[in-house]
Amino acid sequence: MNNERHQRLTQAAQLHRANLRKNLERRLEAAKASGDQKLIQILEAESNYIG
């Protein structure tokens, strides 16, 4: 039971991280499309932080 709970939590954490990366990539694409260099720098730093 405890192992199953651990697996579910691990899967949820992995899904959450994947969603963060996907959202960040969309935001970065939009910043690049608009040419907002400051926002691009911020989002790239966020990407490095997330991993």
The model's pTM is 0.79
Amino acid at the residue 31: A
Check whether 34 has a pLDDT greater than 70. yes
Phi then psi for residue 4, to 5 deg, are -65, -40
Residue 1 has pLDDT above 70, yes or no: no
- Rounded to an integer, the average pLDDT of 10-35 is 97
Check if the beta carbon of residue 31 is closer than 8 Å to that of residue 43. Answer: yes
Residue 51 confidence (pLDDT): 81
3-state secondary structure of 9: helix
**Whether residue 46 has pLDDT greater than 70:** yes
Name the token pair of 26.
């969309």
